[in-house]
Amino acid sequence: MKHFIAMLTSGLLLATAAQAQTKLSIPPLSPTTHIQQRFSTSYIDLTYSRPSLRGRTAFGSLVPNGTVWRTGANTITKVRFGEEVKINGQTVPAGAYALLTIPDAKEWTFILNRDTAQWGTYEYKQALDVLRVKAKPSKLSAPVETMSLTVENLRPNAADLVVTWDRTQVALPLTADPDRIVMGQIEAAMKGEKKPYITAAQYYFNTGKDLTPALGWVEEAIKASPSYYGYYWKAKLLQKQGKNKEAIEAANKSLELVQTDKNEVSKAEYTRLNQEVLAAAGAKK
């Protein structure tokens, strides 16, 4: 009996010692990364694990052609859109999706699936697909060791989700409609107390809209708080409308006010910017 108790005690001590072992921090073979890219009026959020070649061939070998791939390693790759986007003309509501692919030598299939909790593709259900679209891969001149999923070719209303690994790169183009959202925001904001006069005017300027309301907003901003910033934007709007005489007056007023700025960096910058407006408006030196 004593021998049995001794053995039991020894076993418990060994188990306790095993549980108390120092936890090691080992470099993962496929580290997880999280990217949030500002896009349109919101963002694109990506979470995925990045496998490396380590002497292997990616597509057609490690990742078989014609089979559903998690587009990375470990758990499923996730993409979240902060606003509604369109992919190949199909509307995708804001929200999170599993991003799957079917690689092939001549054509890839991109899949958005509702199940973001699956591990790999072991429990993948096609019935939960939100969309499937085709894309043509391109061949790279040199292999890329570690797989990457990035947001590239950013424009105000468009971008590409790009998969790059080994000698293959393939892009999934998507678009958004920021103008619809921003115009709605401006309409609502102008009914409130804190009206974004200058920001709204800048948006009209940068997107080629009618500058008449934009000029009115800048005038309201100047009336509330005269500033070199407000007069600079008044000058830009007037110059773009072809009202060069008024633009020159506004730019000179901005130059006058900016001299009181104690920040030498912003003083120099807005001196230069106003001089550019004056030159564009044909002011005499």
pLDDT digits (tens, 9 = 90+) for 131-140: 999 999 999 9
Residue 235's pLDDT is what? 97
pTM over 0.75: yes
Residue 21's pLDDT is what? 80
Residue 185's pLDDT is what? 96
Q: Name 158's Cβ contacts closer than 8 Å, sequence gap at least 6.
A: 173, 174, 175, 176
Q: In this structure, which topology does domain 179-280 adopt according to CATH? A: 1.25.40
pLDDT band, residue 4 (cuts 50/70/90): very low
Q: Name 187's Cβ contacts closer than 8 Å, sequence gap at least 6.
A: none
Q: Name 52's Cβ contacts closer than 8 Å, sequence gap at least 6.
A: 29, 30, 145, 146, 147
For residue 279, is pLDDT > 90? yes
pLDDT band, residue 15 (cuts 50/70/90): low
Of 66, 48, 47, 70, the closest CA to residue 119 belongs to 70
The beta-strand segments (E) located in 52-194 are 73-81, 85-87, 90-92, 95-102, 108-113, 129-135, 138-155, 158-175
For residue 249, is pLDDT > 60? yes
Pairing outcome for strands 32-39 and 42-49: antiparallel
Q: How far is 268 from 271, CA to CA, in rounded Å?
A: 5
Token representation of residue 121: 């593709």
Q: What Cα–Cα distance (Å) separates residue 125 from each residue in 78, 81, 97, 242, 269? A: 16, 21, 13, 60, 57
For residue 87, is pLDDT > 70? yes
Report yes or no: 250 and 280 within 8 Å, Cβ to Cβ: no
Give start-end residues of each CATH 1.25.40.10 domain in the chain. 179-280
Residue 126's pLDDT is what? 97
For residue 9, is pLDDT > 70? no
Q: In whole numbers, what is the pLDDT of the chain averaged over residues?
A: 93
Q: Name 211's Cβ contacts closer than 8 Å, sequence gap at least 6.
A: 204, 205, 237, 240, 241
Pairing outcome for strands 85-87 and 73-81: unpaired
Residue 8's pLDDT is what? 47
| Residue % of the chain over a pLDDT of 90 | 89
User: In 10 A of CB 273, how many CB atoms?
Assistant: 20
User: In 10 A of CB 201, how many CB atoms?
Assistant: 27
Which spans in the chain are helix H? 2-19, 178-189, 197-206, 211-224, 228-240, 244-258, 264-280
pLDDT band, residue 17 (cuts 50/70/90): low
Q: How far is 92 from 58, CA to CA, in rounded Å?
A: 30
